[in-house]
Amino acid sequence: MPIIVVENLSKVYPVAVKEPGIKGTLVHFLRRNYRMVNAVQDISFEIDSGEVVGFLGANGAGKTTTLKMLTGLIHPSGGRVRVAGNVPFRRQEPFLQKITLVMGQKQQLIWDLPALDSLKINAAVYGIPEAEFGKRVGELVEMLSLEGKLNQPVRKLSLGERMKAELLAALIHRPQVLFLDEPTLGLDVNAQVAVRDFLREYNRRYQATVLLTSHYMADITALCKRVMLIHQGQLIYDGSLDSLLERFAPYREVKVELANPLPDVETFRRNVSTLYGEVESIEGREIRLLVQREALTRTVAQILADWEVIDLTVTDAPVEEVIGRVFRAGVV
């Protein structure tokens, strides 16, 4: 059963354009010029209840705009959206009760008060009975390891603790659909892992649907089986993460440490593609190559024959690298 249905969704923004310099400023003051930006163009997809979907794209690709339309914050220029049977932009209570949006650093907690005060406001606003509220806070505090932190003013919390407290506030009404925009932005590795584990557990425990954007590929690989790629406002891929990687990672990364530095780096670069594969980087005696999977054995043999090699390792290309290639090419 799809819980999110998006059909031909579009958003066009007017953006004021100003030439630099005094003349541009005066012209801008007297007559505004606007350029229309197609932030999101004609995208369609469905997400089933309980699915965890990664939403990937470069900065400015249209991810956040799409999330804002799905949560009803902004009005679509065209197309249809249904979330849990509701039209988001109407922001009716049954819809708002079922969803949440977590946005990177944006705080809904009142800065100068303990998080618990803000949580109490949320409990009243969402109509959560006192006893149930206490139970839920206890449960979420445990899942997020926030013991003893909710009585401190929010400004005294570390970034990681604050982000977790924000998550707690965003989930206290136990929403069925979670829209997460960079939920681990700026967190250290431990905190990232904690948030990731928490989201996985929340999804499992409440069968919640999650749509997640992140710049940390580890978030995506840890949580999402399915990914959607958006590029310049258009949906260019919607499918499993595995088949995306297979399609775009027919490479292995070969790291070679040579006994002596390359005599002529430029010539090496020029000839490398016919001989071995694609150069990822050359740093002193260390060379990283991307090699087609089927050519791997032959290439490794060739390298060992041609150069004096101290060390050689073969690994899968990092997911970031794969996704980066897709975006650079702009097509799937």
Partner 1 sequence: MRQVFRTATTLLTAYYAYMLEYRAELVLWVLSNSLPLILMGVWNQAAQSGRFGLSPVDLVRYFFAVFIVRQITVVWVIWDFEKEVVQGKLSPRLLQPLDPVWHHVASHLSERLARLPFALGLVVLFFGLYPEAFWLPSIKTLLLFLLVAGLAFALRFLIQYTFALFAFWTERATAIEQFWYLFYLFLSGMIAPLELFPAPVREAVQWTPFPYMVHFPAAILVGLPVDVVRGLLVMLGWGALFFVLNRWLWRRGLKHYSGMGA
Cβ 288 to partner 1 shortest distance, Å: 38
How many residues in the chain?
Answer: 332
Helices and strands per DSSP (H, E), number in the chain: 12, 13
Does residue 68 interact with partner 1 by CB under 8 A?
yes
Q: What are phi and psi of 28, to 5 degrees?
A: -65, -35
> What are the tokens at 105?
């650093």
Cβ 156 to partner 1 shortest distance, Å: 12
Q: Is the sign of the CA dihedral 231, 233, 236, 238 positive or negative?
A: positive
Does residue 106 interact with partner 1 by CB under 8 A?
yes
Between residues 119 and 326, which has the closer beta carbon with respect to partner 1?
A: 119
Pairwise CA distance, residues 229 & 332, whole Å: 9
Does residue 245 interact with partner 1 by CB under 8 A?
no
Which of 10, 66, 86, 122: binder of partner 1 (CB under 8 A)? 122
CB atoms closer than 10 angstroms to residue 195: 21
Pairwise CA distance, residues 321 & 251, whole Å: 11
CB atoms closer than 10 angstroms to residue 312: 14
> Can you tell me which residue has the tokens 């992140």?
214
Does residue 139 interact with partner 1 by CB under 8 A?
no
Which of 5, 121, 272, 279: binder of partner 1 (CB under 8 A)? 121
β-pairing, 309-316 vs 278-283, is unpaired
Near partner 1 by CB under 8 A, which window of 104-112, 233-241, 285-293, 314-322? 104-112
Cβ 44 to partner 1 shortest distance, Å: 22
Q: Which residue, among 101, 112, 99, 120, has the nearest Cα to 155 in the 3D structure?
A: 112
Between residues 74 and 229, which has the closer beta carbon with respect to partner 1?
A: 74
Does residue 99 interact with partner 1 by CB under 8 A?
yes
Does residue 144 interact with partner 1 by CB under 8 A?
no
Provide the greatest CA pair distance for the chain. 74
Which of 9, 56, 83, 101: binder of partner 1 (CB under 8 A)? 101
Which of 71, 86, 184, 209: binder of partner 1 (CB under 8 A)? 71
Which of 117, 197, 286, 321: binder of partner 1 (CB under 8 A)? 117
Near partner 1 by CB under 8 A, which window of 93-101, 205-213, 272-280, 291-299? 93-101
Does residue 98 interact with partner 1 by CB under 8 A?
no
β-pairing, 99-103 vs 177-181, is parallel
Which of 7, 38, 87, 126: binder of partner 1 (CB under 8 A)? 126
Near partner 1 by CB under 8 A, which window of 72-80, 245-253, 270-278, 308-316? 72-80
> What are the tokens at 131?
């006893």
Between residues 93 and 316, which has the closer beta carbon with respect to partner 1?
A: 93
Does residue 10 interact with partner 1 by CB under 8 A?
no
- State the DSSP string of 223-277: H-SEEEEEETTEEEEEEEHHHHHHHH--EEEEEEEESS--S-HHHHHHHHHHHT-
Does residue 72 interact with partner 1 by CB under 8 A?
yes
**CB contact at 8 A, 261 and 307:** no
Helices (H), 99-158: 115-125, 130-144
Pairwise CA distance, residues 200 & 225, whole Å: 12
Does residue 176 interact with partner 1 by CB under 8 A?
no
Size of the site for partner 1 (CB under 8 A): 31
Which of 80, 91, 247, 270: binder of partner 1 (CB under 8 A)? 91
Cβ 204 to partner 1 shortest distance, Å: 24
The binding site for partner 1 (CB under 8 A) comprises 13, 68, 71-75, 91, 93, 96-97, 99-101, 103, 106-108, 110, 112-113, 117-118, 120-127
